[in-house]
Structure 1
């Protein structure tokens, strides 16, 4: 049997196992280990062992549980809730202002968390009921919350970019910096869409009433204090890292410590908050660890087969495609897989092929990490199995139906596709900041 046929058989076996409902790491890891044993006999067991040792020796892995802990600590202690009240007062007088404030809130939560689930939880349970009570269009604001929460996997400290960095063996610090401007650009495009939509149809996002706007400036300035702690946490974590005072791992430890200190200052660090934070941190961290281990095993088998060189020869030699045409096909395949897989599963399935192929075609792997993450954001919101769709269905008020949730994401998916095309055409949007910072 040819190596190409073995590679196809491995992918087919993995997809069958995933479709049966097996856990992602179990399906991928099992196929990798069984294939290695069948191909190389007893010596194949060394592949899985070597992958595990390589993972445990990779020092930046420590950032993963620390950033997850920081995000859950801020969420469970209610610090993010204070931020929403601040944005509610300052943006409320504008037409569509509360929806704009919700996007800004999502950016702030993303900068403190690195996961989309925290933004979704806060948006669906706090922002969404309030926006409905204020007469906002339920379809538009449902899309706002879903799109805004997806920024958590692009704006640093993105856990998805950490995962990509581990699998692609690229510096996580550069990946984070590469996600800053694309993330802010996408948030800006969301806001532009809301402003234009509410200008055309003012009834979709009515401003606060005259009575509610009549808040003394002293009270408004007092509410601004809710943003001080998150800004301090972000500075302690990211600012010190950009100035070269702390390393990446030290930055994650500072962020976790600062989040805990903020909860203490607010007098919200109860036994229940700590228990929930540690339990959720442990669960998510272990899930990512197993997935990374499975991906490394699978990648090692593929590298031993030479499948990457065979596929590159097929695209370039037999089909005669150029590098950009191959890259576009990769992104289209991500969008297709996103209809039935989450971002982690997509990365683990195609990383052994796509990442070395992108490198062989001469593209920057840091830039490609941003493209992958934006495509994952789109995948989070595309039916029938978009991750954010299920989260919204579970958390949304009863008056929002599944049909409303599906309809709400259509314009925001087009906005994300526009952002993806912009970053593809202008790579420096992602690459300028890491090149500038690391050049120093």
Structure 2
């Protein structure tokens, strides 16, 4: 039960505004000091060895590489070209602006994968256009926020890399398994927008057709899509074909992003400096959280917290499906209050041995967790995508409109999660 109190204390620290890494580290030290007869500070003698292992982890090297690739592409103006050309192409269709936002969000997810950059870019570019053409503000906000989070399930995704490392499974296999679920979620978003615009035409009216020949619009859209598509094929294709590991393909992606930026004429030393500094900041944040989570897990396991959770699921819950439903519900609820990184580093390692004891396919279970963790970016009050969008939108929309807009898309994520649970073979599209 002391382990459960540790979780409660960590949640209180987070609600008080303590940075995540320091919240979990502080709780670990606090409980080790408070119960010296059970644990004591000597438990942290193992921490340097754990940190050294993290620093030597070849798989986690892909995290800063993919972040750098995404930041370079963010500054290349590729997203602006995509949004402009796709908006003109789909705009004359009822709900077309929202559909083009989802399509661009999926392309950006497979090429950059950075939620903050995607949401801010689409919020700055497409939200004013949607509002100008009398789109329902809630629908516009929900579309932008949810499309920006597709990078958490569509590979290459930092979430999938972290889960692959934490769950001791192949990141390449996880990338393959997550591709169809990511496209399924994209299709559900588009289907919802089409249905909503058909039932309520005033919420997503068609945009007047631009005075440009349709063939020229198609050519412009193809020119905007082709560069990121080539990069996606180079990165994911090398992984799926077994030519390169995710870390090696991430390095290929960095080189490809730099080449695309040079060919586009948008490369500058300021871009390189910005991408390098932001990569260091984001990577340091992730690894600091990992170190704090490692300290937390050391003390948690010293209090036999893992054994308590294992006994609860195997003896009190008792069945495979009950375990899956309860674990998914716990992750979903935690997503309202904490970020995906903390859940991945602290909660998931506790669930992995239990899933193994039930004979659950680890790849399938990892995809379920990834789909569930994506919702943490949208669920109020602490969904990061909501903060990003509000910051980009300013006074154009209210916080209430953003919260109301994301609700249908959260339900669509739950529907996608249910589909993957009921039809697990959907992830094995390669046979």
Deviations 1:279-308 (A, max 9, x none): 211111111111222333333444455433
Taking a change above 3 Å as real, the CA distance of residues 21 and 235 of structure 1, as seen in their structure-2 partners, is: same
Q: Provide the residue aligned with 2:311 in structure 1.
A: 313
Aligned counterpart in structure 2 of residue 394 of structure 1, from 382, 387, 391: 391
Distance in structure 2 (CA, Å) of the matches to 1:314 and 1:136: 49
Q: Provide the residue aligned with 2:372 in structure 1.
A: 375
1:420 and 2:395 equivalent?
no
Q: Give the length in aligned residue pairs.
A: 428
Q: Provide the residue aligned with 1:27 in structure 2.
A: 23
Q: Provide the residue aligned with 2:216 in structure 1.
A: 218
The secondary structure found in structure 2 opposite 1:209 is: coil
Cα drift, residue 42 of structure 1:
6.3
Q: Provide the residue aligned with 2:69 in structure 1.
A: 70
Aligned partners of 1:299 and 1:352 also within 8 Å: no
Gaps of 5+ in 2: none
Distance in structure 2 (CA, Å) of the matches to 1:204 and 1:16: 40
Distance in structure 2 (CA, Å) of the matches to 1:361 and 1:307: 19
Distance in structure 1 (CA, Å) of the matches to 2:263 and 2:201: 41
Taking a change above 3 Å as real, the CA distance of residues 48 and 416 of structure 1, as seen in their structure-2 partners, is: same
Q: Provide the residue aligned with 1:404 in structure 2.
A: 401
Deviations 1:21-66 (A, max 9, x none): 2211112233335656744556423321121111112111210110
1:98 and 2:97 equivalent?
yes
Q: TM-score by structure 2 length? A: 0.93
Deviations 1:117-159 (A, max 9, x none): 1220121011111222223222211110111111111100111
Is 390-399 or 347-356 further displaced after alignment? 347-356
Distance in structure 1 (CA, Å) of the matches to 2:177 and 2:299: 30
Taking a change above 3 Å as real, the CA distance of residues 397 and 27 of structure 1, as seen in their structure-2 partners, is: closer
Is 220-229 or 302-311 further displaced after alignment? 302-311
Gaps of 5+ in 1: none
Alpha carbon RMSD of aligned pairs, Å? 2.1
1:327 and 2:298 equivalent?
no
Cα drift, residue 360 of structure 1:
2.4
Distance in structure 2 (CA, Å) of the matches to 1:69 and 1:370: 24
Q: TM-score by structure 1 length? A: 0.91
1:364 and 2:361 equivalent?
yes
Aligned partners of 2:39 and 2:302 also within 8 Å: no
Distance in structure 1 (CA, Å) of the matches to 2:248 and 2:317: 47
Q: Provide the residue aligned with 1:83 in structure 2.
A: 82
